[in-house]
Amino acid sequence: MVLLPRPTPGPVPSAGPSSSLSRCPRIPSPGGTLSPLPGDTSVLAGLYGPAEVKGSRESPDGATVEVLLRPKVGLPGVAERSREQLLRRTFEAVLLGSLHPRTSITVVLQVLSDAGSLLACCLNAACMGLLDAGLPLSSLFCGVTCALDPHGDIILDPTARQEQEAHAVLTFAIDSAQRKVLATTTRGSCSAEEMQRCLVAAQRAADTIFQFYRDCVQRKYSKS
Amino acid sequence: MQKENCRPDGRELGEFRATTVNIGSITTADGSALVKLGNTTVICGVKAELAAPALDSANKGYIVPNVELPSLCSTRFRSGPPGEEAQAASQFIADVIENSQIIAKEDLCIADGKLAWVLYCDIICLDYDGNILDASTFALLAALKNVQLPSVTINEETGLSEVNLKQKNPLVIRKHPVATSFAIFDDTLLIVDPTAEEEDLATGTVTVVTDEDDRLCSVHKPGGSPLTGAKLQDCISRAITRHKEVKKLIDKVIKSIKPK
Give B127-177 pLDDT, tens digit per residue: 999 999 999 999 999 999 989 999 888 887 777 788 888 888 888 899 999
B interface mutation test: which of A80, A81, A95, A190 has the most B CBs within 10 A?
Answer: A81
The one-letter amino acid code at A56 reads S
Give pTM, 2 decimals. Answer: 0.88
pLDDT at A68: 94
Instruction: Report the pLDDT averaged over residues A99-121.
Output: 91
pLDDT at A15: 22
| Cis before A38 (ω within 30) | no
Identify the CA nearest to A188 among candidates B89, B223, B101.
B101
Least confident of A114-118, A206-210, B205-209: A114-118
pLDDT at A25: 31
Is A173 an 8 Å CB contact of chain B? yes
Helix, strand or coil, per DSSP, at residue A176: coil
Identify the CA nearest to B69 among candidates B97, B93, B38.
B93
b/e per residue B233-250 (b: at least 16 CB within 10 A): bebbebbbebbeebeebb
Our count of domains for chain A comes to: 1
Residues 6 or more apart whose Cβ sits within 8 Å of residue B51: B62, B115, B116, B117, B118
- Per-residue pLDDT reduced to its tens digit, B196-230: 999 998 999 999 999 989 999 999 999 889 999 99
CB contact under 8 A, B220 and A175: no
Least confident of A87-96, A108-117, B116-125: A108-117
* CATH assignment at residue A106: 3.30.230.70
| Chain A residues 41-70 within an 8 A CB cutoff of chain B | none
- Chain B residue at shortest CA distance from A86: B222
Is A3 an 8 Å CB contact of chain B? no
Is B81 an 8 Å CB contact of chain A? no
Instruction: Report the pLDDT averaged over residues A65-88.
Output: 92
B120 forms beta bridges with B47, B64
CA Rg value for chain A: 17
Specify the pairing of strand A104-113 against strand A64-70: parallel
| Count of CB pairs separated by less than 8 Å, A with B | 111
Q: Read off the DSSP letter of residue A137.
A: B
Residues 6 or more apart whose Cβ sits within 8 Å of residue B33: B21, B22, B23, B24, B25, B43, B44, B139, B140, B141, B142, B143, B145, B146
- In this complex, the residue of A88, A91, A181 whose CB is nearest that of residue B226 is A181
- In this complex, the residue of B91, B92, B100 whose CB is nearest that of residue A189 is B100
Is B99 an 8 Å CB contact of chain A? yes
CB contact under 8 A, B226 and A175: yes
Provide ipTM, 2 decimals: 0.89
Is residue B99 scored above 80 in pLDDT?
yes
Is residue A108 scored above 90 in pLDDT?
yes
- Of all residues in chain B, what percent carry a pLDDT higher than 70? 97
CB contact under 8 A, B215 and A175: no
Q: Measure the CA–CA gap between A164 and A161, rounded to whole angstroms.
A: 5
Range of the domain at A18: 2-222
Q: Find the length of chain A.
A: 224
pLDDT at B206: 94
CA Rg value for chain B: 20
- Per-residue pLDDT reduced to its tens digit, A127-140: 999 988 899 999 99
- Of all residues in chain A, what percent carry a pLDDT higher than 70? 82
Please report the sign of the dihedral spanned by the C-alpha atoms of residue A113, residue A118, residue A123, residue A124: negative
Secondary structure E strands in chain B? 19-23, 31-37, 40-51, 62-68, 109-111, 115-127, 148-154, 161-170, 178-185, 189-192, 204-210, 215-220
- Per-residue pLDDT reduced to its tens digit, A168-186: 999 999 999 999 999 999 9
Q: Measure the CA–CA gap between B238 and B160, rounded to whole angstroms.
A: 51
| Chain B residues 174-203 within an 8 A CB cutoff of chain A | 187, 203
